[in-house]
Amino acid sequence: MHRLVVMNTKIIRLLSRMSEALAGLLIASNLVVLLYGVTARYLAGRSPIWMDELSRFLIIGTVLLTAGVVWVRNEHMRINLLEQKLPPKWASALKLYQWLLTVAISAAFAWYSWHYAFSVGRFTTMGLGISRTWPMLSMPLGFFMLFLFAILRGPFERKDLQL
C-alpha cells in the first residue's frame, strides 16, 4: 500500500509540473497576444479581430488545465465549515461524498465535452477562422486532468502530498 501512495505522489507531482508548465506557456502566449493587440491599436489605429478571440481561448485553456492541480492541492475556493463542525465520522463521509461527486462530474464532463468538441468541428471561429474543435479540446483535457488528479489523490487529504 505504501508503494502505491509513493507512486501516486510521484505521478501527481509530475502531472502538476506538466500542467503548470503548459499553463505558464498559455499565460505567456496570452501576454504576447495582448501586448501585440495594444501595440497594433496604438500604431495602426486598430487591433486584429482574432486577438480577442485567441486571448479568450488561452485564458479558458489555462483555467481548465490548472483545475486539477488546484483541486489536488486543496487550494480551490470552498467552504468547509460543515466539515469542521461535524463529528469525524460524519466529516469523513462528507469528504467521501464530495470526492465521489468530483470524480463522477469530472468524468461525465470530460466524456460529454470530448464529444461536443468534435461535433462542432465543421464550424470555424469568427476571428481565427480555425475549426471550433481546437479551442473546445481544452474542456475534455481539463476535466480529464481533474478526474485523474482526483483519482490519484483519493477521497481524503494527504499530509504527505507536498507539491
CB-based contact 57:139 (threshold 8 Å)? no
> 73: pLDDT confidence band, cut at 50, 70 and 90?
confident
| Cα(39)–Cα(17) distance, integer angstroms | 33
pLDDT above 90: percentage of residues in the chain: 65
Task: Quick: pLDDT tens for 54-71.
Answer: 999 999 999 999 999 998
Q: Check residue 107 and give its pLDDT.
A: 98
Q: Which of 107, 31, 96, 22 is nearest to 61 (CA)?
A: 22
Q: Which residue has the higher pLDDT, 156 or 16?
A: 16
Q: Check residue 132 and give its pLDDT.
A: 95
| Cα(74)–Cα(118) distance, integer angstroms | 32
pTM: 0.86
> 161: pLDDT confidence band, cut at 50, 70 and 90?
low
Sequence-ordered list of residues with C-beta below 8 angstroms from that of 133, at least 6 positions apart, any chain: 117, 118, 120, 121
> 1: pLDDT confidence band, cut at 50, 70 and 90?
low
> 103: pLDDT confidence band, cut at 50, 70 and 90?
very high
| Cα(152)–Cα(50) distance, integer angstroms | 38
Read off the amino acid at residue 4: L
Torsion from C-alpha of 60, 131, 116, 147, nearest 10 degrees:
-40
Identify the three-state secondary structure at position 52: helix
Task: Quick: pLDDT tens for 29-51.
Answer: 999 999 999 999 999 888 898 99
